[in-house]
Chain A
């Protein structure tokens, strides 16, 4: 086991990407993710990579599109308002089947919002903030060690299925320091085989084209349908989640990222009072652990979704459960911090049948 190192979440994400073979980064500064480009700016040259501070977020995502088209492991990162600017480029990358990696360290929104940690970009990340029918592989870490290790999985999935991948973190995770342990062996990109679609020197081979359009009649339909087969395979094989104390639970908390840690504390408090509370933490937000929720809803009566937004992931939970159980919501928008006490109060209300169920179910 490697020695644990105290690192900021943002730094761990950057280091994790490099260890996963990332050799190109383009970005534009925005709080609370500035340590990512800062780290990349000195660390990438050490491993023979390239760092570009672009003139804007739009420029950065398109640089990454270009790098991605050559088959190199590449990354951009930003925070909520900057991510909005990148959406066109992400849609194009999805349309061109490019395995780029994106980090979003969420802050308060909408608009310029504030710089504190929030979870208001769930819809943007999982629904495609850009136009057209597409998906991104989205992972939600809840600690600095996961921030350091998830880029490995993101690149692996992105290259296997050819789609953009994303780590969806928040300002708290990005700014906090914790001991981090890098669990994967470092990848030397020189040892990776060049993808069969990658652009570059074309001497002695057929020409290749990376594009997100097809103007022939029915052409785009064929492209999208082929892509959907890969999406289905991801939904089959790449779902990740974590469960705690779920076996005898009467109430299951559903939370991702930093909120899930508050839920662990709430669960322990409630268990001490004799309440049977469990936790389901989606680790991949897309693909969503729908099948597991369906299974659980056959015996668990109440689900409480806890998120630092007005209620976004709750819709995925409600869709999965589809009326078989009650779906409640503890929502905290505006980049305010959720406390374990608050979550416990909401659980008390559910048991006393005072809490409102999520409107989409009823």
Chain B
């Protein structure tokens, strides 16, 4: 089993912390994992991205150049990562902020209005968790439960009620199906 993931969005959307969370969840499920951030000239408001691998064997390289799944949370990320997805792979699009439509016909598309769902739940900051929930349900690479269990390990300073809200966001995200 091998799942290479690329997550991309605005700095501040929780792209990096969502990546760490997936790696932590995969590790807690006993899988081989790696996380690799785009680092250097990143800034709040600019576009940030990271690579995550969850696999049964040792990860050969943590930089995912042909993702099984790309999760794009803002408009510029779509243009950058849609072409990279493996044929037959999955593209998760945050339709709240991405207006353009994906053009590839050889990949699966999962549309999720992450920001709207997060706002409905009462906290726009948890939009990244909506996307992670959708990812877990659509790929089965990591379970929603594992991600929920990893939350307090990664976000050490969060109050229990905020963790609970994040879990709600994960579950709402998991309700979305590939059309």
Contact = CB atoms under 8 A, between A and B. Distances in A.
Contact of A31 (B23, B40, B59, B62): B40
Given A178-B33, A178-B34, A265-B61, A115 B39 contact: yes
B37 A175 contact: yes
B164 to A, nearest CB: 23
A31 B40 CA distance: 7
19 contacts: A4-B27, A6-B20, A6-B24, A6-B33, A6-B35, A32-B39, A172-B36, A172-B63, A176-B62, A177-B20, A177-B23, A177-B35, A179-B27, A179-B33, A261-B58, A261-B59, A261-B60, A264-B58, A339-B61
Interface of A: 4, 6, 31-32, 115, 143, 172, 175-179, 258, 261-262, 264-265, 337, 339-340
A175 to B, nearest CB: 5
Contacts of B153: 6
Given A6-B20, A264-B60, A340-B60, A176 B65 contact: no
Interface string B62-105: 11010000000000000000000000000000000000000000
B57 to A, nearest CB: 8
B37 A172 contact: no
Contacts, number: 55
Interface of B: 20, 23-24, 27, 33-37, 39-40, 58-63, 65, 153
Closest 7 CB pairs of A and B: A265-B60, A177-B35, A176-B62, A115-B40, A176-B36, A261-B60, A179-B27
Contacts of B60: 261-262, 264-265, 340
A359 to B, nearest CB: 28
Nearest to A5: B27
Given A6-B24, A6-B27, A261-B58, 9 more contacts: A31-B40, A115-B39, A172-B61, A172-B62, A172-B63, A177-B34, A178-B35, A261-B59, A339-B61
Nearest to B51: A176
B65 A175 contact: no
Contacts of A262: 60-61
B84 to A, nearest CB: 13
Contact of A337 (B20, B23, B39, B65): B65
A38 to B, nearest CB: 13
Contacts of A258: 61
